[in-house]
Structure 1
Amino acid sequence: MATNIRVLALCGFTQNANIYSKQLGAVRKTAKNAEFVFLEPPIIVLKADMPWNQNLDQFASNATTEEEQQTPETTPRAWWLTDSDRKVYRRIDESIAYIHDFMVKNGPFDGIIGFSQGACMASLVAALLAKPGLNAGWPAEPALPVPKFVIAVGGFAPSSEIPDFAPYFPIPARVPVLHVIGRTDVVVSEERSRSLIDACENSRVEYHTGGHFTPSKASWRHFFNAYITATCNGENQNDIPPVASFGPSGTSTPVTASQTPRGGTPIPPEDLRQALPAPPRR
């Protein structure tokens, strides 16, 4: 089947395009009518950039900050750098201009998928596409198409004071945003993801029982495929059947922003009130 949907894929902190491509391998094989374009972040993460934590595996990354051990496939990258308090995002304007230049030269793209820091970056790109001119590195011309969907896995809203991203939000309702949350995610908690859910006027939430990673079991692969195809065909994201409709998937509950109090936590179904099983070892 010929591909006719193009998806820009933005990896997480300390990952790179190669790592993220492998992690989405099963999803890509299932979504046969979509082409995933993995953009390499412009910033290389050095050991000195993250003195508070050298455990890159925590970020679902098998890269290394040991320069003598690095290859292009194991070099950790980022869309911005920050200290542990997350108040200042360094070099993010560089990444914004970089992504804009890439999209002008290599677009158009129908949608965006991002993981963790990449999910946050995807939300900023969506805001810039919907409201161009917010950043000097993202000029209003040439006009770029507003994405038909954004998939934010383990995402969060930017928390920086410098730059101030308040004008970017909320992301308007014409941009549907799917938020995928791991119930046992200790890197980006559900509360932190809630900051991004509340910052989008057209949100949908799906849960999995695992931690900080993109779920890829069969039910999730087929759900992602259905979601991408349906939204690109103009269907309402909340009309797409939930993950559980595609087979056993663990915890899966579609929740729209309008169904959840702002800043609140959605009430899980009855089966979620029982203790969740331990996530599988990866």
Structure 2
Amino acid sequence: MAANKKLKILCLHGYRQHGYAFREKTGSFRKSLKKYADFVFIDAPHEVCAEQGGGMSHAPSLGWWFSREDNYYKAIEYSDIEQGFAESVGYILKFIKENGPFDGILAFSQGASFLSMLCAMKESKEISLDVSFVMLFAGFKSRCSPHRKYYSKDIKCSTKALLCIGEADEVIPLDMGNELIEHFQDPVVLHHPGGHFVPNQLDQRKAYSEFLEQQMSQS
């Protein structure tokens, strides 16, 4: 990669969110890293049920898959349902093919859980995912039973990864966030004292910059 060429990063929002909202919420984060990367935001393909906020306002409320058949999802609940998951995998791969190439993928909450499984599918050659790194914020291992295979101890994802975990996260408990560490080979792990958001204090900005600089030097 040329010294002045920035990374191109695809961004996956969390549950009950959409691409534009995630873009707005990460404004200071993106500004602090603008010399390293350009960020592209995408909407998840599935609308959340009215019970959780979908269909009740002009702004879309979207998700990557559901743990109930009525388009409902809760990260901490165990389920045997993965409604919409396969469609989201195809949707993402199509988007990357048509809008890439991308150097990396950044994802938040349910988007980060989805990304962890994409990395496992890449590792087992179930899909072709041509990105060299991932950044996962408030990620976790899916508790949907059809997804257990993606977290097998036989699969250790070699994609370069940065995991950012909130110690005061009330949506994704700390133990759930920490479980994802073992999913990757030697990830950069960044704990922060805050909750369910993308932190952007001095210490975190330094870690992000160092991680992206390393990816640029290896590209």
Which residue, out of 151, 176, 179, partners 2:135?
A: 151
* CA distance in 2: counterparts of 1:122 and 1:155, whole angstroms: 9
- Segments of structure 1 that go 5 or more residues without pairing to the other structure are 51-63, 236-282
Which residue, out of 231, 244, 252, partners 2:215?
A: 231
Q: Aligned residue for 2:196?
A: 212
The alignment's C-alpha RMSD in Å is 2.3
Aligned-residue identity in percent: 27
* CA distance in 2: counterparts of 1:124 and 1:213, whole angstroms: 21
* CA distance in 2: counterparts of 1:176 and 1:158, whole angstroms: 20
Say whether residues 1:99 and 2:92 are aligned partners.
Answer: yes
Q: Aligned residue for 2:78?
A: 86
Q: Determine if contact 2:160/2:187 at 8 Å carries over to the other structure.
A: yes
The two structures have a TM-score, normalised by structure 2, of 0.84
Classify 1:24/1:3 alpha carbon distance in 2 versus 1 (closer, same or farther; 3 Å).
Answer: farther
* CA distance in 1: counterparts of 2:117 and 2:100, whole angstroms: 17
* CA distance in 1: counterparts of 2:108 and 2:152, whole angstroms: 19
Classify 1:103/1:66 alpha carbon distance in 2 versus 1 (closer, same or farther; 3 Å).
Answer: closer
What one-letter code is carried by the residue in structure 1 that aligns with 2:78? R
Q: Aligned residue for 2:39?
A: 36
* CA distance in 1: counterparts of 2:207 and 2:150, whole angstroms: 32
Secondary structure of residue in 1 paired with 2:24: helix
Classify 1:111/1:205 alpha carbon distance in 2 versus 1 (closer, same or farther; 3 Å).
Answer: same
* CA distance in 2: counterparts of 1:215 and 1:164, whole angstroms: 29
Say whether residues 1:46 and 2:35 are aligned partners.
Answer: no
Higher relative contact order (CA 8 A, sep 6+): 2
Post-superposition CA distance 1:240-280 (Å, at most 9, x none): xxxxxxxxxxxxxxxxxxxxxxxxxxxxxxxxxxxxxxxxx
* CA distance in 1: counterparts of 2:125 and 2:201, whole angstroms: 37
Secondary structure of residue in 2 paired with 1:157: coil
What one-letter code is carried by the residue in structure 1 that aligns with 2:109? S
Secondary structure of residue in 1 paired with 2:145: coil
* CA distance in 2: counterparts of 1:198 and 1:11, whole angstroms: 23
Q: Aligned residue for 1:276?
A: none
C-alpha deviation, 1:185, in angstroms: 0.8
| Larger Rg over CA atoms | 1
* CA distance in 1: counterparts of 2:63 and 2:152, whole angstroms: 21
Which residue, out of 106, 123, 140, partners 1:130?
A: 123
* CA distance in 1: counterparts of 2:213 and 2:188, whole angstroms: 16
Secondary structure of residue in 1 paired with 2:168: coil
Secondary structure of residue in 1 paired with 2:90: helix
Aligned residues: 207
The two structures have a TM-score, normalised by structure 1, of 0.67
Which residue, out of 14, 17, 20, partners 1:15?
A: 17
What one-letter code is carried by the residue in structure 1 that aligns with 2:27? G
Q: Aligned residue for 1:26?
A: 28
- Segments of structure 2 that go 5 or more residues without pairing to the other structure are 69-73
Secondary structure of residue in 1 paired with 2:8: strand
